[in-house]
Structure 1
């Protein structure tokens, strides 16, 4: 790496590519979500007081609908660790086609998924309204920069898995009007738009048939609206279909390097090359299962596992195309991370690894904002 260690030790603001705090708030219905998030402590790894303490300046807040009949919010690693005891569980979802797809979690039905997704988006609207300017839902890169300048939490509405969207894409128009600016067509389960990649280790990501015709239509509709299409849960065939049909930068909001951890959810060098060619971006996932060479959740793991992936992705993509996609409230973190307040340990580890202030600022927030600007066109 050409950059030398900087002597500047100021807190670097972090704009992050993925969290599941809305799922935690949804599952904890007995509390007012606005109060839980704004005042803390929220159930899980993220709330506004902890964000301020950590220098967490904003990010993509995902609306994710849990699979039916699972014991807790389904996490990106398929486990329930870091879920605080006492959080509720919504069990209204219906089982759909799981016998045909034994490797996948059940897929929620359209009606339930729509209700939950709109409910989570409403949570964000209420949080913003109740925050007295401390939280800002952002619809452009300019609004993100302005929110960060004003010390407000910059929130981008994101959907992880498009089960809520109807085949005619009517709800896409509604959600866009609400503020939606990013969408992952699938989570790691099949829906009408395509096949997500199941959680397997060791495994190639080439585990399914990719997008359906409706999925390709959804990608093109997102291009027209300048909604970012997130590749993180697509199988490899779906990845290449997006690369073929999309005119936007290829972005994987919370994925890691397959060469370092052979998880099915991670990206191969060939995929990374396509992302680089498109001017795209990868956000490093903080989940141990996606970081470690053995794919395990080891009590000995540290934030240096993340540094290893950041180093590798910078080598493959260049310093303008890598950042963070923590997956707070969705994965098992390294024991020294615990929650959002552990970000300072990661930033310190990157400094120790030779990252100067300019590169830290790119990785921590500038690269994310720029790829969103390239995608949204504003």
Structure 2
């Protein structure tokens, strides 16, 4: 599956070696994916890489590994487009509560917001926003734009014609900027408040937050780097204004919290079976993307579900089996990973295909 283009790979719209840890007592073995961490550094060009793998089924384990001291297990980091899964979960909870319907149009809920240059909110449903089939141009595609509100982001996108016909998959951060406004219109609260009340607090995601205008990362945290396109040198971008990312990618989290969230989501703790089936339905995108989450079928036949996050100074990927019992989150402390289309599948296959029961949990 082609990896969705994630959020703010350039500086925030300019943008949005040996294993160094000792096994914990609860870790009886080296998780297979950990062997690939040095490749993320040597071949991928990442300063530091880390992962947390957890399996709750047979032969359970909880294993953290890092290539060095640059990333610690408890560190907070920017999770980029993984924010989308949180937003999508809230929208489906609201649908369950009959406060909205996925067939509602943008025009019905946000009159007059999406109009002009061939963009028509009367033809775009919430389902289309969630699945990236709206055709709305990605506002982050214009490096000269620095919208600090969702409305400004949508207006930036509307200066262009749709990038595709409605109903055709085209990943666009604008879709989730609109969804953030929808949540606020329906609930009377910001999407950040709804995510905190519905997901972060009930799941005890103590390292997860939505920073709003706060430019600093909460402690503890490491550094975040981006490569200068002029000379290739690493530049520190730990502090940045996350408002440009908004509902499309402002989330801050930890390795533990992301594993816990996806395990709870896929395990049915956040959505009942009917809504979870809708979340995972990829028919509209021909198997590429569900609603804020996407599948990746591995060579062994196992399909993992999750999302990636790409923002200035950070790349992260979470994947989990369909039952949520086996999860993996890995991250690097830069937004540039060379040869990601080779290294990431290899890492996922090492984790999810090299286990005796990996096929049974797909």
Q: Of the two structures, which has the highest relative contact order with CA contacts closer than 8 Å and spacing of 6 or more?
A: 2
User: TM-score, normalised to structure 2's length?
Assistant: 0.28
Q: Which has the higher helix share?
A: 1
User: TM-score, normalised to structure 1's length?
Assistant: 0.28
